[in-house]
Amino acid sequence: MRAEIGRRNRILLMVTFVLLVVGTLAVYSASSFISIRQSSDAGSFHYLLGHLQRICVGLVVGTVAYLLPQRTWRALSPWLFLMALILLASTVVPGNPFAPRIKGASRWVVVGPLRLMPSELVRFSYVLLVAALVSQGQVSLRRPWGFVSIAVLGMIPALIMIFQPDFAGASYLTAVMIVLMFLAEARLSHLLLLVLFLLSLAAVGILSSRYRMHRILGYGHPTEHVQEENFQPYQACIALGSGGLQGRGLGQGRQQRGFLPEAFSDFILAVVGEETGFVGATLLLSLMFVLCLCGWTIAADADDLFSQITAGGLTASIAMGVAIHTGVVTRLLPATGMPLPLISWGGTNIIVTLASIGLLARMGRGGR
Amino acid sequence: MSSRQQVLSASRRKARMRLAVAATALVFALIVGRLASIQVLSHDRYKRLADAQHTHRVVMEARRGRILDRNGFLLAGNRAVVSFEVYWPSVPRGEGHLIDSLASRLGDRAMVGVPVDRRGRNQIIARNIPYEDVSDLLEGNLPLGVNWTVGSRRTYPLGDLAASVVGRCRDGALEGLESKLNSLLAGKDGQRYVQRSAYPGLSMTDPEAENLLPRDGIDVMLTIDSRFQCIVQRELAKAVQRSGSRWGSAVVVDPRNGDVLAMGNYPVRAGNGSLAMNYAVQGYHEPGSTFKIVTLSACLEEGAVIPSDTFDCSRGQIAVADRTISDCHRFGPLSVEEILSHSSNVGTIKMANLLDDEVFYCYCRDFGFGSKTGVELPGESEGILKPPDQWSGVSKASIAIGQEVTVTPLQLAMAYAAIANGGVLYQPRLVAASRSEEGWRNWATFPLHRVLSEETSREIRRMLATAVREGTGTTARIPQVAVGGKTGTAERLSVGTGEYLSAFAGMVPAHHPSVVVVVVIDSPESEYRFGSALAAPVFKDVVSSMLATEPEIALGPYRSTEDELAARGPR
């Protein structure tokens, strides 16, 4: 048993390492052209260096997450959540100098060279908080009031995200919330009601925003609106499709030369798919799947409820990140900006994901 | 919580966990399936789309060959021109006024008004502005979103000089030599496949594509001498305007090799500004008395007549078939020389009657009439010369005096050149040399065949000199220089309209010519209708100016003692 656990952790860490290497290569290939064009001092390495810095920070954070015992996390979780919530709320405060509008939305807290995306922290700390509350018996999701309080805890930050506006982030968080509640034994009838309620809210949200409306319309009519709403997914499909079975070769991608916006973050799978083809993209997704499987088995095998729910919630969070990114790139979902965990350039995401994997490895080790 | 409940809760969590794993597997399978559909099944379609937006074929224009005159002056060249285009999506918000100021700096040459009225995504601001006019603009910073391309435009630095020979190349429409020599001049455009980025200016040549360098066109040097060309065009313009004529044409030929030294027309341009007809090769007309040398040559060469013969000109009238042909004067008996110098129709017809039809026709053909000269110009006319089996009763008599036959000024010039050079007909040569990679290469001259013997041609040159000295051509006399030539006055084809054609064909110096000049002016007002009244003075003015420019012309081509003696000739 112990040997098997050790092997699973080794697999988890190796897969993580391989994905980080792949991601570094992909980020460099996808960003070098843009980097040169923006004529930064670092030449073609501008985004690569940033990416490596964040990986280093993420490795430190992940190691710390691995070393801290579960009870510390349990104790920290309310404070973490509160801090993340305050940071998130600060982004929608009008005139906040630390939350500038970038590309039409204020989703980031910027202090000097540091750039933080509070929504990533909120998702992470929400999983910990729910796990702590449920495992300590303070809240029972089987009871209506327990269910409602957990749901409200998740929907407050989701609502703030809508004001950023970050509709995709809000959806992501609510999806994680529902899976988390499902794993934490919420009643199916309650969940069904919640889903219906959220869907009606989403309908109102979509209809109330011209921008989102167009995104959805563009999704429905892939060949129209190619120049506007549908431009990015269309270009992503061209990248993937022109890659073919075996790809154009490393560094041979053409779409990242300005045709595919956000090639190194929100559409990085398209770059991977263009350069390494269906074979490469499938291999990458297989690694992702192995990572998720490790997460799920850790959750299933964990001895205590806190570890079970935390591991399940974090795995669900990573899996859904992958699903949303690939869904957007392959045009299964409407266009939105979602990084591919461990691969994409995107500071907070990579740090939070590495912290999650550190925690998973801790819980996979067994013991408390 | 009871232990039973705890067991239940644990097994529920296990079940839900398994469901989550299954859902994850399902989602990944779905995505992989979707990837397969995009990357494998639709690969061809997306590859086409990708190639369409990435690869761009750029044509690299070949430099068109230049056209030079025999002295190396540029008649047709190329200049770099710049076109400006604005790509509106790249123009930053609030910087539209920079485009306006660019347009106002370009002034009249801009194709847009100020402020610029936006049209479409790509809009042309100005086209084909000479590079040197905007070089300072290009060295500075152009506003964002403005692209410029350098092209090449055909220019004719000497304007309308020799325009009807050189022709024009504008927007793909070709005329004159530009058309005839296009296969030499055009060269071959190259091509380059470029991997584009979405940003203008950041593109690179695809090293694996089929890139071809352009092959530049070949430069050609003409036999035209711009100095003589200028003289010819100036004198023609003056004469045509003064006499109220329809058109005029003049050709200057070097008889020794058939080189066309000048070929002028007036008007040069038609009413709509495009080039007018090149009358020298397209304006066929009845040659009138200038054609009489053909009759005379045939008779002398065949021995039917000797210079000392006399003919009774029967008081200026002769009946031919059902018609009567008359002279201007009631001449009595005239010598052969006098028949030519007084341009007697009756005498010429009587001489022609001594010849067999077929023989006479052969001489006309041998002088090059009735067929194209083969000059390097498009649309050449061959004139009309009927063969004897189509002749009516008056045909032979009419042809003998230059009616019922049509010729072009160039044909006439080549025929006179044959007399001038001792009896050899040349194909006119317009291109002296062309420049390939190895350097300049001379083009051959084309002597076609001998028409007359040296003796006959010398005899005729002597008679032509007499005609200018004492006959109808006195208005062509030039002090200090012996001129040989023949006037011609032809009633236009449409008989009875009172329209005439005034012509003069001459050579300088008379006995050993270095140039032959033919002047033809169509439909002058009636006071100018005789060749002696209009064409001959134009000849005189042209040749005088040429002599002032190039006095060596007066010396003749070369002078050996033998030639000296021959030039004095038997008087």
Model confidence pLDDT, tens digit, residues A225-257: 444 556 778 888 888 898 888 888 888 888 888
Task: Please list every residue in chain A whose beta carbon sits closer than 8 Å to the beta carbon of residue B42.
Answer: 241
Cis link prior to B115 (omega < 30° from 0)? yes
Cβ atoms of B404 and B395 within 8 Å: the answer is yes
Q: Does A258 touch chain B (CB under 8 A)?
A: yes
Cis link prior to B214 (omega < 30° from 0)? no
Burial readout B92-109 (b: 16 or more C-beta within 10 A, e: otherwise): eeeebebbbebbeebeeb
Give the CA angle between residues A265, A268, A271 to the nearest 5°.
140
Q: Does A300 touch chain B (CB under 8 A)?
A: yes
Element (H, E) at A289: helix A268-301
Structure confidence by residue, pLDDT tens digits, A249-301: 888 888 888 788 788 888 999 999 999 999 999 999 999 999 999 999 999 98
Tell me whether residues B34 and A332 touch, CB distance under 8 A: yes
Residue with tokens 């160039």: B410
Q: Does the predicted TM-score (pTM) go above 0.90?
A: no
Q: Locate the chain B residue with the closest alpha carbon to A311.
A: B17
**In this predicted structure, what is the pLDDT of residue A23?**
94
Interface of A with B in 3-42 (CB under 8 A): 33, 37
Tell me whether residues B12 and A185 touch, CB distance under 8 A: yes
Give the pair of three-digit tokens for residue B212: 């071809």
Taking 50 as the pLDDT cut, the residues of chain A under it are 225-227, 368
Mean pLDDT of chain A: 87
Residue with tokens 């700390």: A125
Determine the structural domain holding residue A28 and report its residue range: 2-364
**In this predicted structure, what is the pLDDT of residue B561?**
47
**In this predicted structure, what is the pLDDT of residue B570?**
45
| Beta carbons within 8 Å of A74's beta carbon, 6+ residues apart | A128, A131, A132, A135, A136, A306
Cβ atoms of A327 and A333 within 8 Å: the answer is yes
Interface of A with B in 218-237 (CB under 8 A): 237
Nearest-CA distance A247 → chain B (Å)? 9
Q: Strand, helix or coil at B571?
A: coil
**In this predicted structure, what is the pLDDT of residue B571?**
37
B11 is catalytic: no
Residue among B164, B289, B514, B532 flagged as catalytic: B289
Main-chain phi, psi angles of A343, to 5 degrees: -105, -50
Alpha helices in B72-158 (DSSP H): 96-106, 131-139
Cβ atoms of B370 and B385 within 8 Å: the answer is yes
- Nearest in space to B76 (alpha carbons), one of B215, B224, B189: B224
Q: Does A98 touch chain B (CB under 8 A)?
A: no
**CA distances from residue B472 to A296, B164, B214, B406, B428 in whole angstroms, order as listed:** 121, 31, 59, 22, 28
Tell me whether residues A33 and B50 touch, CB distance under 8 A: no
Residue B91: how many other CB atoms lie within 10 Å: 17
Task: Please list every residue in chain A whose beta carbon sits closer than 8 Å to the beta carbon of residue B207.
Answer: none
**In this predicted structure, what is the pLDDT of residue B532?**
79
Q: Strand, helix or coil at B232?
A: helix
Nearest-CA distance B135 → chain A (Å)? 26
Domains and CATH numbers, chain B: 56-218 (3.90.1310.10), 226-568 (3.40.710.10)
Chunked into runs of 10 residues, chain B (571 residues) has average pLDDT values of 75 90 95 92 88 80 91 92 82 79 83 78 84 83 80 89 91 88 90 76 72 90 95 94 91 94 92 87 90 94 90 86 83 90 91 92 95 92 92 90 92 96 94 88 91 93 93 88 90 65 92 94 82 88 94 73 50 37
Report CA A266 to chain centroid distance, whole Å. Answer: 11
Task: Please list every residue in chain A whose beta carbon sits closer than 8 Å to the beta carbon of residue B49.
Answer: 238, 241-242
Q: Does A243 touch chain B (CB under 8 A)?
A: yes
Task: Please list every residue in chain A whose beta carbon sits closer than 8 Å to the beta carbon of residue B204.
Answer: none
Q: What's the total number of domains in chain A?
A: 1
Q: Which of A243, A292, A300 lies closest to B39 in CB terms?
A: A243
